[in-house]
Structure 1
Amino acid sequence: MTHAKGRAGGSRAFRLRVLLAVLLAGAPLAVRAQTVEHATRERVMAALPPLEEMARQFVDRDDVPGLSVAVVHRDEVVFLKGFGVRDEAGREPVDADTVFQLASLSKPLAATVVAALVGEGAVSWDARIADIDPGFRLREAYPSAQVTVRDLFCHRSGLPGSAGNELEGLGYDRDTILHRLRLVELSSSFRAGYSYSNFGLTAGAVAAAKAAGLSWEDAAETRLYRPLGMASTSSRHADFVARPNRATLHVRDGGGWKALSRRDPDAQSPAGGASSSARDLAQWVRLQLGSGKFDGRQLIDAHALGQTHQPHMWLGRHPITGSLTFYGLGWNVEYGRYGEVWGHAGAFSEGARTLVSLLPGEQLGIVVLANAFPTGAPEALADSFFDLVMRGDVTRDWKKEWDRLYEQVFGQTIEEAARRYGTPPASPQPALPAAAYVGVYANPYVGRAVVAEADGTLQIRLGPEGKWVVPLRHFDRDLFTYRPFPEMPDLMSSATFSVGPDGRASAVTLEHLHDLGLGVLKRIEEPAP
């Protein structure tokens, strides 16, 4: 999403995140059809009642707890409505002003903010990060010296997709995470490959704001949210928490929707930390479709904003629609039967789903916000709505198609977890005495890990001040399992200790942190607290 956590075991968790991020980066677009019309006002208005009925059915069938939807056509907000509840426990209704966490829908918002800074001359899309912030570095010297704001916004810096995500999960702040990116081996040659990176884009956005003498949060507020009157929108998590009309994150648990965890995404605010309402985002859609013009005034330079919608990196064909897909600057750009589309989607595995999809040639756009994960409801609503407008009927069961895709991705992951760690070995080797494993381990990327004994059970503490704590369950000899993701309790990972000739563990490999090869922590001679 920006961002789904979880997986069976370890490093596959973050590869799963990357796969999901690629899927969610794209906005929905239908495949070829025989007859395509234009989005006249009559056709748009005729499509709104079935759109509303479909959203209501999704809530009534418990496909999702709550939804908020906005539709913009020719600079007019023609539909704005909420459905369902903000929180399954409280049952307060969702309306057009309910604030949702946007996850990776934050990325095109961030691109809009940077476009505003570019338009006013504070920075350039091609400004080198090294010139703005000499302290920022990647693993290799050449990309460190040459990487630009543009490179980071179109994900071609070479940073692997999961870089920094696992550190955020442990509770590290933005400055720490961006500093430690220099330890990550690049996954491709500079500018030669696409890799969707939350903290790469965050680095680009933070640098652009710094060039203007602003923090990222202030840049977003002063250059976009305030000028558009987006009073319920913020790039600060504290503002979201303070909203009385806000949606809670939900995941499936025992067949029903439950709020099992929360998400504070401030560390990656430009990439996944914005929060907003359907009403506010409708104003932003007006700005996008108006090429930077809002209420008759050129708020953002058209050329600077237009750069965000240009295809930069080839992604291939969409796994469901088959449309040609590219990544721009914080936007997905697709080409299909209804022409060019700009879009992005977002997800938190803790329970958020969001989507924006725009048909600029038709001056038509839709925003769908949902408070649950996984669900294909946002894509189904957008795909079906475009079908209704452009063809007069819905071409496919889009909800079924998207749900099947998510089930394939996550179902396989959960099955693998069950195969690997669900059943202990028939004759497991006993663990060594707890004292053999207890101690402090560390590496420069993950930081310190404290393995301690509590109530007869080993536990591991990670992150700042050791606040990330999970119990270790013995599996076989020096291998222990743990659950790194509260919202996905069935997904387990492993801690494997390397024991030396002296009978003490000299290192531990934490599988869910090892996607980048940086999950091996060596014992350091420091007494465990």
Structure 2
Amino acid sequence: MSVHSDTLQPLVALPNPDQPPSETVLLPVSQERVLKAVGTLDELAQNMLEKSGIPGLAISVVYKGEKIYAEGFGKRAAGSEKKVDPDTVFLLASLSKPVGATVVATQVEKGRIGWDSPVREFLPWFDMGTPWVSDQVTVGDLYSHKSGLPDHAGDDLEDLGYDRRTILERLALLPKHSFRTHYAYTNFGLTAAAEAVAVSAGTDWASLADQTIYSPLGMTSTSSRHADYMAQENRAAGHMKTDRGYIVTDLRQPDAQSPAGGVSSSANDMALWMQMVLNEGMVGDNKVLEKAALLPAVSPQTIIGGPRSMNARTSTYGYGFGLDVRPTGRVKLSHSGAFTLGASTTLALVPDLDLGIVVLSNAAPSGVPEAIAASFLDRVELGMDSRDWLSGYSKIMAQLTAPVGSLVELEKPKDPEPPRATNAYLGHYENAYFGSAYVEVEEGDLVLRLGPKNQELKMKHWNGDVFSVQPFSENQPAGSKSQVRFTWDANSGEARMVIEHLNSEGLGAFERIL
């Protein structure tokens, strides 16, 4: 059967023939549709607060170069009467990455450094474990998470209180994936790249961010220093979920990974930043950065995960930005941020619509920010929610706050093997990656002390030479229950202990030296 072209009727508005096919989107969205979706945000946010129980959140929306919505909901702190407003300052967590990418772009524009510049040109001490990779790894490799470092490399050292330089130096000791072939999300890999950028500019990262992005945009409540966040009067405290609901923690201090997770900002300030990105570096007639320097950051640089079917769209990552294709065919630039100790955030930018939304919350990962943003974009493009986004995202985020350790929810054996005499376990233990550990006696019980924070873990006998500990940190959420296992060398008789929750990369063995 043949069909003549003159009998075909267009189902959608035909595109501008001068527009490149790769930039063509055939499903139109009117301004009326956008404004109607914005009009549902108050109710949407209130419903999400009630369903989730999180204390507070703030939202801003920008459209066609203007901020068209900014509101706060709930309380800055559980038990407080102080309300969240659009100027309330939140921890951004990993929204710091796309913000930081725009800082890097300003220096790329100036020619001080390039996305393809080897990090060692500026940090000669930086070591990836092998000479060739150490010499070749670039700012872009680290900003796109394809350097070969393992997932969240160095975060465990941050939990123990090590400073930025020490953590970056010890990345050399970690086992690596193949260079430039594997996506693995790393806060401290990206931080190393940012450090190189700061050195190229002759200043520290926090000052560079303020000089190049925050101050020029008028982001007066935004900082890359944690002390500035803590000093804000209008500040949203961090919260952790417990059996009694959300409680204030304020335990997260992310200065060591500031370029990756240490920015604090407000919904109003983030609206200024979104406008600049959507306008390709311009704010009104003022140029903050060159489009050519920004474009690589918002372009695919690595594949996050392969598609599960031939029909699936592939998620990619640029330099600090996540990139997806919406069901409507529009490109979405996005990122989320999460601290298990009290922050959950997201942003989504749709360049074709000149539209952006940011959602900031003051609670551990809940799925609420992501669900609000996803519902909003559905309502803009489709006129309705395509699914129950909160149900889906809350299940994903629950994995981040789930307790870790092989002993979680297990009871001590009823007839355990007895331990050795207490003195057999005491001493000073060393590990090249994690540093010193001390097993001591306190009020008759064994205690394990770790890192510069002198993190104290009470050791309870489990079975034989195995003891249970209950670590609590950003990467070991409340309820975690791990084991410490002691062994003795058959020849020297020296003690060795393996700390399970520090052994994800096989580096959790400590040798006793005293």
| TM-score, length of structure 1 as denominator length | 0.88
| Residue 50 of structure 1, CA deviation | 1.3
Kindly indicate whether residue 426 of structure 2 is the aligned counterpart of residue 468 of structure 1: no
Instruction: Work out the CA distance in 2 between the residues paired with 1:36 and 1:483.
Output: 55
Within a 5 Å distance, the mapping from 1:478-489 to structure 2 comes to 478-485=465-472, 488-489=477-478
Kindly indicate whether residue 105 of structure 2 is the aligned counterpart of residue 115 of structure 1: yes
Contact 2:405 2:481 in 1 (8 A): no
Tell me: CA distance 1:318–1:372, structure 2 relative to 1, closer, same or farther (3 Å): farther
Instruction: Work out the CA distance in 2 between the residues paired with 1:435 and 1:312.
Output: 54
Partner secondary structure for residue 227 of structure 1: helix
Aligned to 1:67: 57
Partner secondary structure for residue 172 of structure 2: helix
Which of 352, 357, 361 is matched with 1:366 structurally? 357
1:147-182 alpha-carbon deviations (Å, 9 max, x no partner)? 110111001110111321000000000011011111
Partner secondary structure for residue 358 of structure 1: strand
Partner secondary structure for residue 83 of structure 1: strand
Instruction: Work out the CA distance in 2 between the residues paired with 1:509 and 1:405.
Output: 30
Kindly indicate whether residue 298 of structure 2 is the aligned counterpart of residue 309 of structure 1: yes
Tell me: CA distance 1:356–1:132, structure 2 relative to 1, closer, same or farther (3 Å): same
Tell me: CA distance 1:503–1:190, structure 2 relative to 1, closer, same or farther (3 Å): closer
Instruction: Work out the CA distance in 2 between the residues paired with 1:87 and 1:318.
Output: 41
Matching residue's letter, 1:425: P
Instruction: Work out the CA distance in 1 between the residues paired with 2:260 and 2:80.
Output: 30
Give the RMSD, CA atoms, in angstroms.
Answer: 2.0
Contact 2:405 2:483 in 1 (8 A): no
Kindly indicate whether residue 243 of structure 2 is the aligned counterpart of residue 292 of structure 1: no
Instruction: Work out the CA distance in 1 between the residues paired with 2:232 and 2:185.
Output: 30
**Relative to structure 2, which stretch is displaced further, 81-90 or 58-67?**
58-67
Aligned to 1:282: 271
Instruction: Work out the CA distance in 1 between the residues paired with 2:26 and 2:48.
Output: 27
1:244-273 alpha-carbon deviations (Å, 9 max, x no partner)? 111111122115111245100000000111
Aligned to 1:206: 195
Which consecutive residues of structure 1, in runs of 5 or more, have no partner in the other structure? 1-34
Partner secondary structure for residue 385 of structure 1: helix
Which of 58, 74, 86 is matched with 2:48 structurally? 58
Kindly indicate whether residue 392 of structure 2 is the aligned counterpart of residue 401 of structure 1: yes
Aligned to 1:133: 123
Matching residue's letter, 1:377: V
1:311-340 alpha-carbon deviations (Å, 9 max, x no partner)? 011123689x96420010001011122311
| Residue 222 of structure 1, CA deviation | 0.4
Aligned to 1:23: none
Which consecutive residues of structure 2, in runs of 5 or more, have no partner in the other structure? 1-24
Kindly indicate whether residue 175 of structure 2 is the aligned counterpart of residue 185 of structure 1: yes
Kindly indicate whether residue 211 of structure 2 is the aligned counterpart of residue 222 of structure 1: yes
Instruction: Work out the CA distance in 1 between the residues paired with 2:163 and 2:451.
Output: 10
Tell me: CA distance 1:281–1:347, structure 2 relative to 1, closer, same or farther (3 Å): same
1:260-311 alpha-carbon deviations (Å, 9 max, x no partner)? 4510000000011111111000000001100000122121010101110010
Tell me: CA distance 1:217–1:75, structure 2 relative to 1, closer, same or farther (3 Å): same
Matching residue's letter, 2:446: L
Contact 1:441 1:450 in 2 (8 A): yes
* Identical-residue share of aligned pairs (%): 41
Tell me: CA distance 1:297–1:409, structure 2 relative to 1, closer, same or farther (3 Å): closer
Aligned residues: 485
Matching residue's letter, 2:461: H
Tell me: CA distance 1:446–1:415, structure 2 relative to 1, closer, same or farther (3 Å): closer
1:128-165 alpha-carbon deviations (Å, 9 max, x no partner)? 11111111111111110111101110011101113210
Aligned to 1:32: none
Matching residue's letter, 1:205: A
Which of 480, 493, 502 is matched with 2:482 structurally? 493
Larger radius of gyration: 2
Contact 1:436 1:505 in 2 (8 A): no
Aligned to 1:41: 31
Aligned to 1:523: 512
| Residue 518 of structure 1, CA deviation | 1.3
Instruction: Work out the CA distance in 2 between the residues paired with 1:323 and 1:349.
Output: 29
Instruction: Work out the CA distance in 1 between the residues paired with 2:240 and 2:307.
Output: 26
Partner secondary structure for residue 40 of structure 2: helix
Kindly indicate whether residue 253 of structure 2 is the aligned counterpart of residue 264 of structure 1: yes
Contact 1:103 1:272 in 2 (8 A): yes
Higher relative contact order (CA 8 A, sep 6+): 1
Which of 415, 431, 441 is matched with 1:443 structurally? 431
Instruction: Work out the CA distance in 1 between the residues paired with 2:161 and 2:320.
Output: 25
Instruction: Work out the CA distance in 2 between the residues paired with 1:415 and 1:215.
Output: 38
Tell me: CA distance 1:170–1:102, structure 2 relative to 1, closer, same or farther (3 Å): same
Aligned to 1:165: 155
Kindly indicate whether residue 499 of structure 2 is the aligned counterpart of residue 510 of structure 1: yes
Instruction: Work out the CA distance in 2 between the residues paired with 1:447 and 1:497.
Output: 18
